[in-house]
Structure 1
C-alpha cells in the first residue's frame, strides 16, 4: 500500500515546493541581471566613487553660486575634464616626440650608439655579454637589432598593450566622470536610496551608520591616496616636461603609481635629479629645477595630514594590497578602484568585529 499523508504534510510539502520555485526564479533573475550589468561594473563603480568624493564640492558650489544641482555638477565635470585632458596631452606629447625623433634618426642613419668602456666587460655575470652586445650595436646597429628581433618584437607588443591599457583607462575615467556628474545631480535622492537599502539589509539602527562609514571611507581613500598621488604627479610631471627630461610622461605615470601604492616619489625624483646634475652641470636653472623637484617629491608628507586625516584612517598595507590586486584584476582602473573597495570592506569587517555580542536570554519556561 502507498503511504498516506495528512493534509498538514501535503500543505507543508506544497509550501516548500513553492519556496524552492520562487528561490530558483529569483536566482535566475539575479544571475541574468548580473550578466547584463557586468560589462559596466567597473564603469559604474568608478562613477559612484567619483560622485561620492566630489559631492561635498558640489554642495558648496550650489550654496554659493548656483541654484540647481545639475548646474553645479556640470561645472565640476567640465573643470575636471579640463584638468585631466591638458596634462594627459602634455605627457602624451612628451612620450611620442622622443619616439618619433628616434625613429627618424634611425631611418636617416643618423642614430649612433657610442662604444662601451672597457670596464664594462669586467662587471660580474652580465659584463661580458653586455659588452659584446653593446660593441655590436655601436658598430652594426641593424645586425644587433636583427639578432634580437624576437625579443624586441615581444617587448614592443607588451609596450603597446600597456599604452593601450592606459589609453582605455583614461577614456573610461572620462566617461565615469560624466556619469558621476549625472549621479551628483540627483545626490539627495541617491543618499536617501542608499540609506533605505542599508537599513533594509542591516536594520534601521545600523543602516545609517554603515552608509556614513562607507561614504567616509571612500572619501578618505580617494582624497588621501588617489588625490594626493594625482596632485604629486602633476607637480612633478609639469617640471619634467618643462625641463625636457627624456621619457617625462612615463616617469610621471610611475610617480602616480608609486603614490597610489604608498611608496615615496623620491624613488623617481632623486635619480632624475642626479641625471640632470650629471648631464647639465650646476647651473642656476638646474639648481632651481632640482630643489623644486625634490620638494614636490616630498609633497605627500604635507598633503596626507590635510586630506587623509579628514576621513577614516586605513592602514597602508590595506591600500597597497588593494592597489596591487586591483591592478592585476582590473588594469589601470582597478589600480584606483581596488584600494577604495578593500578599504570599505576593511572598515565594515572591523565594525562587525567590534559590534557587542548579545547575551543569550534564559528560557522563560525553565523550572
Structure 2
C-alpha cells in the first residue's frame, strides 16, 4: 500500500518562521537594557549560591532573611567599593589626561642612576645620550597615543550613570534570583531539555560549572590581589593609586599578575628617597604577588582548566564590547562557550595517533593508474 505524503505548505512555513523571528527580535529589543545586568546578576548568584544556602540554614530556614542578608552584603562589599573606585578613578584621571594632552609630561631625568654601584654612571650617561639624540622628539611622537589611550580607559569609567544603572539592575536581579533560584534553574534546565534532551540538560550544568570556575578562579582572585595591592599603594603614598589599582586589576585578570604595577611603584619610592615605605610596599608586593598560588587552587574545586588566551581575549574583548562590566562578563561568556564546545567535541573518540593507518583506510588516488 502506497501512502501519498501531503504537500508542504511552503508559504505557511515561511510566514511562521518570519513571525517567530519577529517576536524573538522584538522581545530581545525590549529586554536589551536589562541583558547585561541580568547576566551579571546570574554570574554573581551562581557563584554565591552555596553561601545563601548556608545563611538560610543559620537563619532558621527563612529564605527571606537569607536573601536580605545577601543583598546587603552585595551592596556593601561589591556595589559601594566599585562605585567609589570608578568615581575616584575619574577624579584622579582628569589631571593626568590634562598633563599628557598639554605636553607637560616629559621623559624623567633619572638622577638616581648615579647612585647605582659600578654601572650607575654609565647608565646615566647612556640615558642622557638617548635624550640628546631625540628623547624630546620621541616623547612628542608617543604623547598623542598615550593621551588617547588614557582618555579611552578613563572614558570607560566615565559613564557613571550607565554603570550605576547596571549595578542597580544587578542588585535587583540578584535578589530575585536568590528568592526564586531553584525555580529559575529548573525552568532553564527544562527549556534546555526540550531543545536537546539530556544533552541540553548536561550543557546547562556544564555552563554553571564554567561560570563558577572563571568567577572564583579568575575574577575573585584578581579582585583580592588588586584590592590588597591598592591598599599597599595607598598607604605607601604612591600617586594615582586608584588608577594604578584599576590597571592592576586588569593585569591580574589577564593573568599577568600585580607585579607589573607594584614593581615600578617600589622603584619610584626608593628613587624618591622614601626607603621605609618602599620596603613596606616590597613586603606587601611579595604577599600579593604569590597569594594567587594559594587562593586559586582553594577557589577552583571543580578542576576547570581554562586556557590563558581564552581569559585574555574575554577580558580585552569584554572591555571593548561592554565597558567596565565586560571585564567580568567577557571571560564568563567565553568560558561557558569553551566548556560547551569542549564537551561537544569529546562526545566522539579522539583520532588515531598513527596517520598511516588512517591513510590505509582512506587511500589517496594513485596518479599512475590514470596513465
Bin of the TM-score, shorter chain as denominator length: 0.7 to 0.9
1:350 — aligned with what?
A: 342
Q: 1:261 to 1:169 in 2, by over 3 A?
A: farther
How many Å separate the matches in 2 of 1:336 and 1:352?
Answer: 25
Conservation of the 8 A alpha-carbon contact between 2:251 and 2:257: yes
Matches within 5 A, 1:334-345: 334-345=326-337
Q: Distance in 2 between matches of 1:50 and 1:262?
A: 21
In structure 2, the partner of 1:330 is 322
| Cross-structure match for 1:296 | 288
Decide whether aligned partners of structure 1 residues 26 and 95 sit closer, same or farther in structure 2, where only a CA change above 3 A counts: closer
**Is residue 277–residue 286 contact of structure 1 (8 Å, CA) maintained in 2?**
yes
2:264 to 263, 271, 278: 271
1:365 corresponding residue in structure 2: none
Q: 1:155 offset after TM fit, Å? A: 7.4
Residue 193 of structure 1 corresponds to 187
Deviation at 1:94, TM superposition (A): 7.6
Kindly indicate whether the alpha-carbon contact (under 8 Å) linking 1:70 and 1:182 is maintained by their aligned counterparts in 2.
no
Tell whether 2:225 aligns with 1:232.
yes
- Count of equivalent residues: 325
**Structure 2 residue 219 is the aligned partner of structure 1 residue 257:** no
CA distance in 1, matches of 2:97, 2:307: 44
Q: Are residue 287 (structure 1) and residue 279 (structure 2) matched?
A: yes
The CA distance in 2 between the partners of 1:165 and 1:241, in whole Å, is 25
TM-score, normalised with respect to structure 2: 0.75
| Cα separation, partners in 2 of 1:170 and 1:241, compared to 1, 3 Å | farther
Contact map agreement 2:223 2:249 (CA 8 A) in 1: yes
Cα distance between partner residues in 1 of 2:22 and 2:240? 51
1:162 and 2:190 are equivalent in the alignment: no
Task: Measure how far apart 1:180 and its partner are.
Answer: 1.4
CA distance, structure 2, for counterparts of residue 322 and residue 152 of structure 1:
24
How far is 1:171 from its partner? 5.0
Aligned pair partner of 1:312 in 283, 304, 307: 304
SS of 1:280's equivalent?
coil
How far off is 1:33 after superposition?
A: 1.4
Aligned residue for 2:7, secondary structure, equals helix
Deviation at 1:242, TM superposition (A): 1.9
Residue among 215, 222, 228 paired with 1:222: 215
Task: Note the 1:123-162 alignment, pairs <5 A.
Answer: 123=130, 127-131=132-136, 158=152, 161-162=155-156
Return the match for 1:180 from 158, 164, 174: 174
Q: 2:64 aligns with which of 58, 63, 70?
A: 70
Q: Which residue of 1 aligns with 2:84?
A: 89
2-structure distance, mates of 1:231, 1:267 = 16
Gaps of 5+ in 1: 1-7, 104-110, 135-143, 358-367
Once the two structures are TM-superposed, the CA of residue 311 in structure 1 deviates from its matched residue by: 5.0
